[in-house]
Chain A
Amino acid sequence: MQSREIARYIERRVPSNHVVVPHPDHPNMLLGPDVIIGGDGRLSAIFVLRGNDSLMHLRAKLISARLILPLNTRMVLYLSSDRSLSYDLEVSFDVIARARQRRLLLPTANQDQDERVRVTDLIAVRRDNNARAAAILQIVDLRGKEVRSARRLKSVTRSLQGARTSDMGQNRIASELVLRRRQAIVAVVSGTVVTPIMDTGQSFRSRASSVLYAGLVGTFTLDNGVPYPDSLRPHIALVPKIPQSRVDPAKPSRACAFAGWALIASQSAEDVSEVAERLQRFFEKIK
């Protein structure tokens, strides 16, 4: 079933005070659930896993939802094919519905299985992630809407990469980026991961997704639904110009900040180092 079919199936079976939204557009999230249902003081978020879908993407979307959606959100996985999941992923959802168990998608089903996550831990992780996002957004806001040439952007990252590669191997996010993105340019500056998001003519969401996935999966480890961070050090994504979306101009910068990335248009390696150090100082404050 596709997201819209699932939404229609649920809409026909829930009271009229419930709001069912396929492909939700959350202001702070570029990666998230396929359908959300709000009603009676509770949110359900449904993630659909089809035959060829990546488990790493599913993991990143769940981490993002746990960090950003309301605390009491019921996370539901819909498996449209026979897929096996790793144990840590399986126990991180509140409900798992297989193809013949569509009724489990309804917000009223299996409520006794809910709330398996350790709420106090989740509250602490969310508070720190919010503080990190706020710090990143403050720096991004101060820099304004810069524009730099794409060619310059590539050379900036290459010069950073050439200069400092010593701690690349130990950095989980840098390793994820190299693994997931072909010919990825990644540098680690003062412990901060720096990578470019080039302008390829695709939507920003498509271009940024591999960076966001790597950042979330490289930072957080799921344990019974709580995404525990190794470190909440912010990362830098270099762009030729700060992207804007029509309905919500600041969404790209905001959503990247909530996933741990500062979107920066920079023209020199020195400038990037300076931003990395400033982010580091903010990080020390929230630690």
Chain B
Amino acid sequence: VSGHNSRVRTLQALIASMPVIAFSTAAPAVHSELGEIVKSRRVRAGNRRRILQVLHATRALDTALKQFVRHHGCTDRLGKAPMSLGGYLSALEQHRVTAIGTLPASQRKHFQRVIADPRNRYMHEAGASPVSDTELAVLLSEIDACLAAVAAL
């Protein structure tokens, strides 16, 4: 089992263990997006492969966070329901739902800087993609860490 496969299987197990996602209609899609990260490694062209892996990983993260935040009714300080990845992260830091924990502020800022900001650039700017496999590994592993942090809230 490759290191990537073992990591993705671990995340799939964590996602399957979150009742708010496991019992929702989003569960199969999140599971499958995570699986596509490993399958996309077969694409030979470096840039195409990297952007594809970013796409699948961020779609898994976006959907998982949206489901989690909406189910628990997490809002930001102004009571607004979040609509974007940055918004979901803020809501996870600022919510007042007693049944779940909160993301520490420094962790939220870290995920904003290393996931949401580069993700927005890759998804919205023509020609932008991780320039190396190391840059890609940093982004994917931070997405993994974010999913694991939310699974533990």
Question: Could you tell me which A residues sit within 8 Å of B by CB distance?
Answer: 17-21, 23-28, 36-43, 68-73, 123, 126-127, 130-131, 134-135, 137-138, 141, 245-251, 254
B84 on interface, CB distance cutoff 8 Å: no
Chain B interface extent, by class: 35 or more
Q: Are B138 and A249 in contact (CB under 8 A)?
A: yes
Contact of A248 with B141 in the complex, beta carbons under 8 Å: yes
Can you pick out 14 interface pairs between chain A and chain B where the beta carbons lie within 8 Å of each other? A19-B16, A24-B6, A27-B145, A27-B148, A38-B12, A38-B13, A70-B18, A123-B101, A134-B110, A138-B110, A141-B110, A249-B134, A249-B137, A250-B141
Q: Is A38's CB under 8 angstroms from B16's CB?
A: yes
Residues of chain B with a CB closer than 8 A to A43's CB: 13-14, 16-17
In the complex, what distance in Å separates the CA atom of A26 from the CA atom of B152?
A: 12
B104 near A37 (CB under 8 angstroms)? no
Asked whether, in the complex, the Cβ of B7 is within 8 Å of the Cβ of A25, the reply is yes
Q: Is B76 an interface residue (CB 8 A)?
A: no
Bitwise, B1-39 to A at CB < 8 A (1) or not (0) is: 101101101101111111100110001000100000000
In the complex, which of the residues A23, A36, A70 has the most CB atoms of chain B within 10 Å of its own CB atom? A70
A27 x B144 contact (CB < 8 A): yes
B residues in contact with A70, CB < 8 Å: 14, 17-18, 151-152
B23, A247: Cβ atoms under 8 Å? no
Is the Cβ of A69 less than 8 Å from the Cβ of B145? no
**Closest residue on chain B to residue A73 by CB atoms:** B17
Residues of A within 8 A of B110 (CB): 134, 137-138, 141
Q: Is B120 an interface residue (CB 8 A)?
A: no
CB distance from B59 to the nearest CB of A (A): 19
Residues of chain B within 8 A of A38, CB atoms compared: 12-17, 22
